[in-house]
Copies of this chain bind each other. A is one copy, B any other.
């Protein structure tokens, strides 16, 4: 019996997810065949089934990894010395991600497929809760350090920062001429309206 090397197994699994995320984002979930994913990941079609039983399972794993990566990327904001600057930097990073049509396309595919798949919808919502929780923790820390007025409501403000992020991705989908990187200053301007300095009034 062949022994499975756990590190090699994990590396192959990641390679499948990378290939699938790229193809789903570029060509859509429906148009991507399992054989396409295997070719892009450099393995035979039969081999993929040691890692994922179906294309659906690959999509679920892509969505789950996406949520975990977002949470990990945002976890650092609360530790920053200048939390306001760290939040604005994060929003700028969002604009760069949204400018990558493949990454933006993947987000759209996940939200579209979540409309018809309760399991994916739950993963999508879990990822969203993680995003808002990370913003909320950072906002609470920023009140503590005097970056924001103490009247700021961390949960509501986190929700509206998420709405601004959603808005940027939606504009990329709706309008081929929308350039999110060029629009970063406006996103910062709107975020500033949500982030009152001590002694000023926000939402």
Stretch at the interface among A34-42, A79-87, A142-150, A166-174: A166-174
Q: Which residues in chain A, 86-135, are within 8 Å of chain B measured between CB atoms? A: 108-109, 111-113, 115-116, 124-125, 128-129, 132
**Is B189 touching A203 in the complex (CB atoms < 8 A)?**
yes
Q: In whole Å, how far is A94's beta carbon from the nearest beta carbon of chain B?
A: 12
A202 contacts which chain B residues (CB < 8 A)? Answer: 189
Total A residues in contact with B, Cβ cutoff 8 Å: 42
> Counting CB contacts under 8 A, is A47 at the interface?
no
Interface of A is mostly: helix
- Chain B residues lying within 8 Å of A108, measured Cβ to Cβ, are 111, 115
At the interface, yes or no: A56 with Cβ under 8 Å from chain B? Answer: no
Contacting residues, chain B, for A156 (C-beta < 8 A): 186
> Which A residues lie at the B interface, using CB under 8 A?
28, 30-31, 108-109, 111-113, 115-116, 124-125, 128-129, 132, 156, 159-160, 162-164, 166-171, 173-176, 178, 183, 185-186, 189-190, 192-194, 202-203
